[in-house]
Amino acid sequence: MSIETIITMLAGGMVTSLQIFCFTLVGALPLGLLVSLGRGSSFTPLRWFVRFYISVMRGTPLILQLFIVYFGPYYIFGLQMGQDFRFTATLIAFILNYAAYFGEIFRSGIESIPHGQYEAAAVLGYSRTQTFVRIILPQVFKRIIPPLTNEIITLVKDTALAFTLGVAEMFTQAKAIVSSQGSLLAFLIAGIFYYVFNALVAFIMERVEKAFAYYHE
C-alpha cells in the first residue's frame, strides 16, 4: 500500500475524529457550565447529585463509560440499538465525561472572582443574571483558558478511544492498515496527524487567550 493511499484512508478517519471532537466541545462546554452552576447551587439535592455525577465521570475510565452507554440500552432495557448507535453512544459518553471536567474548570474560575464584583454590580443596578453574563463570565473565560486548553488537547487524543466501539475514526483506520500491511507506517502518519491537530488547537486557544487579554487582573 502506497503512502498516498494510507494518507487518504487516514484522512477519511480524521474526518470522523474531527466530528467527535467538535460535537463533544459543542455539547460539553455549555453542559459543563450548567454543571458548575449546579455544583454551587443552594438547592442541596441538586448540588449533591451534581457532585456525585462529577465523581463518577472523573473516577471511572472513559473507555468503561463508552461501553456502558453503548451496551446499557440492551442489557438494562432490552433495546436493540443497531450499528448506527455506535457513533451516537460515543458522543453521549464523551459529552458526559468532558462536561464533568469542564464543569470543575468553570467552577474554579467562577470561585476565583472576588465577591466584591457582585456587590459592585448590584449597586450599579445589575440583576444577578446580567452580572454573571456581562461581568463575571468574560473574566472566568480568561482565567480558565490554560486548563481548558489542556483538556481540549486531551480530547483530541481521546477520540482514539472510539475504536473500542468500532467507530471508524483515524486510529481505527491506522490499526486496520497496520494489521493488514505488517508495518507501523500508518501509526507514524497518524501520530503526525494528531500532533498537527493539537498544534492547531494550541494556536487557536492562544489566540483566544490574547483576545481576552483586555481583562487585566
Give the mean model confidence (pLDDT) for residues 12-17.
Answer: 92
Q: Among 17-21, 58-62, 152-156, 207-211, name the one with the lowest average pLDDT.
A: 207-211
82-117 residue pLDDT tens: 778 999 999 999 999 999 999 999 999 988 888 888
Domain map of the chain by residue range?
3-211
pLDDT the model gives residue 134: 85
d(CA 48, CA 50): 5
Whether the pLDDT of residue 2 is over 70: the answer is: yes
Residue 100 to residue 93: CA distance in whole angstroms:
11
Predicted TM-score (pTM) of the model is: 0.90
- The x, y and z cell numbers of residue 204, run together, are 487557536
* CATH architecture label of 3-211: Orthogonal Bundle (1.10)
Local confidence band at 214 (pLDDT 50, 70, 90 cut-offs): low
Question: What does the pLDDT read at residue 105?
Answer: 95
